[in-house]
Structure 1
Amino acid sequence: MFFSTKDTGPVADAVKQHWVDTRLPAALRPYARLARWERPIGWWLLLWPCWWSAALAAIAAGNGWPNLWHLVLFLVGAVAMRGAGCTYNDLVDVDIDAKVARTRSRPIPAGQVTKNQARIFLVLQGLIGLAVLLQFNSFTIGLGIASLIPVAIYPFMKRVTNWPQLFLGFAFSWGALMGWAAVFGSLGWAPVLLYLGGICWTIGYDTIYAHQDKEDDALVGVRSTARLFGTRTKPALILLYAAATGLFMLAATAADAGPAAFLGIVAGVVHLGWQVIVLDIDDGDQCLRLFRSNGTYGWILFAGFCTDALIGWL
């Protein structure tokens, strides 16, 4: 039987009174929680490098706007693959999740979904992602398939390295390559530099996120950059965000972008600087809010790139 009949309530750190818990049939709620549908920031963070790359490709190609069909495909793909990634991660981490206060109420350790049901759900989400991928050119299809390597590796890294956030960056920033490849059928310096910048940005925001769990992680032996940096987190974030900003500027230069793109990057610096200034690594609720604010950062860069594409076309 695929559909779960056991709903023991929402996940501890999920959004309260979300449509998942108020409108979905009870049998579907555990799967929605497994895919984190009530927490869209995850797929936004996966989507932004795709959209940034598509916008930079529009600048380089002299188009006035990113390919709208590509933007829609990347949106659907990000939602599906983020859900698949969360499902896979929960299957791998079920024993760890059962020991951590914030995660022990997730569907698998809470008994809302069996492992076999989760595997079926994983395959279904993966098939949606594959259907999206097949809409692109052959080079982009191959590139998308290659992205499964860092996705598959990431959940295991917290057991063997203090830098699991680096491997999350490898996976979550992959879209920086995809948007460009979908337009040109090849890669260049602009998407590669954008990818490297995205990795630095991801390490930064996920370090903030990981500070929520640092005490539990220490007890169960999970490693993270939050534990590694500790009280030096703010200086580390300054270096990471500065590196991301510099690489984004180099990517814009390689795409022959104009002033509006750089203005967007500079505006993004203000937002990232605000995160560093106000951060309290011992306030878990604030860490979560600052982590989610990176969705706003994504909009800032995207707006700058799109404005520059439009100005260049006019």
Structure 2
Amino acid sequence: METFQHKNGYKRIFKENKLTLGLFIPIESYSGDTPTMENHIQMAQKADELGFGALWVRDIPLHDPYFGDVGQIYDPWVYLGLLSAYTEKIALGTGSIVFPLRHPIHLAKAAASVDQLSKGRLVLGIASGDRRVEFPAFNINIPSRGEAFRETFGYFKQVLHENFPIIDSKVGKIQGNAGVIPKPYQNDIPIIITGSSRQSFDWVSEHGDGWMYYPRGLEQQAQTVQAWRNTTSTFKPFLQSLYIDLTEDPDREPRPIHLGFQLGRNYLIQFLKSLEAIGVNHVMLNLKYGQRDAEDVMEELAAEVLPHFPSITS
């Protein structure tokens, strides 16, 4: 099975037994659910220049105050198009596109467009969705979102690869007389499945080119990574997110925060090395809960932490 070593985004951040670092956009610290998005393009460019592996955007169609986070505000495909124009080497990832809420033709058209415009830097994270207010707004039955995910996935893959497909699906039909262009920059787009996405573990390992999971304690995460490795015959990367509040004191011991830690850089390096040792291949850092200026944190990470976990290619 192809492992996407030719893909510019994939090969920058994924290699067996190696861990790399990416950043969730917005690259800023803020309170409440809505970021300022001030200087956001300059921050993305700086992340590219400093050598971070990837920038990650989220797919949040509706503002749901219950979740307390609207991501980068802008539509992910529009935003990725902008990022592709203003960055050069950094991978562009989605964490994650909610497949049941979007038609597969639109998904294929958007994903291939971003992949072409960025010269193969797209890494496509996908999910079944967990914001319950969104499903009735799109006239999707919440209990059926797992089935809708599979239907959309199959249709998406077919129109992405075939020039004039024949498709008879619950979400649409094509009779071999039409097709989607453009096609991906280099044959295919790596797909990273988030959590279970309402599918069996075997389905995820068979159809995904990697697996994105949630931050857990080291012992539990080690078991999760091992379970993933046991289901895959070839290397498929394991990713996780991590919220950090990086303190000025490099030796500040870790204190738990939501889905991460407040800690000094020396403990962060130690923790990331532990994740690398158990087989985690990429960590998406989120600076939302930080107390310091995000640009200062990013520069400290680049100077002191990134050398331990460099991107695979520069």
TM-score, normalised by the number of residues in structure 2: 0.27
Bigger helix fraction: 1
